[in-house]
Amino acid sequence: MKRALILAAALAAAATPAFAEKSAPAGKVLPFLDRFLKVPPAESARVKLSYAIRHDGQMMPNLKATLVEKSGARTPLPVNGEGYFDRLPTLAQMQGDPTIVLDVPADMKLGSMMSFGTQLPPAREYDARELVATVNEANTVIGKAAGPMSFMAPKMTGIAFSKAEGGTIVFADGHSAPLPQAKDVPYFRPADHQGAVRVKLTKTPTKVGFYDGKK
């Protein structure tokens, strides 16, 4: 599931380069955001991109960050308690080649992490059709955002439910089957569960993300 969440290395020929400045081009801090924002909102409503700044492999929660445009306009980019940006630049802002100023020492070495996730809220039960639509939309968006490098992009095969403990798949004919698990995380794969109508979980998951495994 971690591979499904961190796509920067998979969508690019090389990992996001680290930067050692107090400010850096927004395009390096937020790779592929401009490509993602070019996908029509109606085609990407079920998915989201999240970004975090890291130091020595650790998240930096509540970091102060500001987007600075060529015109001098400054827009705060709040970082939440988990270390992810709560707000991201718009496509128009990204196309203006802005910089991001971080409230850290100028010589601190930092890196950025990109996560690709779902908009599905944690719940005990899901309509299987919505899960299928989310997986399909994810692969379409990834392909469009990756452009010529789409052949390198990972393929999302299902939905994973962190900390849900277990679950049941209910099929249209009335029979049911247990959700499979990978490293104690239940997941639903449309290709393996054709005819499913509902997914019922043992516990409300703490996070609903993508699964990119083959089984």
pLDDT in tens, the chain (215 residues): 444 444 444 343 334 444 444 799 999 999 999 999 999 999 999 999 999 999 999 999 999 999 999 999 999 999 999 999 999 999 999 999 999 999 998 889 899 999 999 999 999 999 999 999 999 999 999 988 877 666 667 789 999 999 999 999 999 999 999 999 999 999 999 999 999 999 999 999 999 999 988 76
Query: Is the domain of 31 the same as that of 84?
Result: yes
pLDDT at 86: 96
Query: Is the domain of 80 the same as that of 133?
Result: no
What angle (nearest 5°) sits at the alpha carbon of residue 95, between those of residues 89 and 99?
A: 60
Which residue, 97, 118, 139, sits at the end of a domain?
118
pLDDT at 143: 87
pLDDT at 144: 85
Query: Is the domain of 131 the same as that of 161?
Result: yes
Does this model's pTM top 0.85? My answer is no
Query: Is the domain of 58 the same as that of 93?
Result: yes
Which residue, 77, 94, 118, sits at the end of a domain?
118
Query: Is the domain of 114 the same as that of 185?
Result: no
Please give the structure tokens belonging to residue 74.
């400054």
Is the CA virtual torsion 101, 103, 107, 110 positive or negative?
Answer: negative
State the total domains in the chain: 2
pLDDT at 181: 96
Which residue, 118, 133, 159, sits at the end of a domain?
118
Query: Are 137 and 44 within 8 A, CB to CB?
Result: yes
Query: Is the domain of 55 the same as that of 15?
Result: yes
Please give the structure tokens belonging to residue 44.
């990407």
pLDDT at 141: 92
Which domain, by its residues, includes 22?
2-118
Query: Is the domain of 130 the same as that of 190?
Result: yes
Query: Are 126 and 47 within 8 A, CB to CB?
Result: no
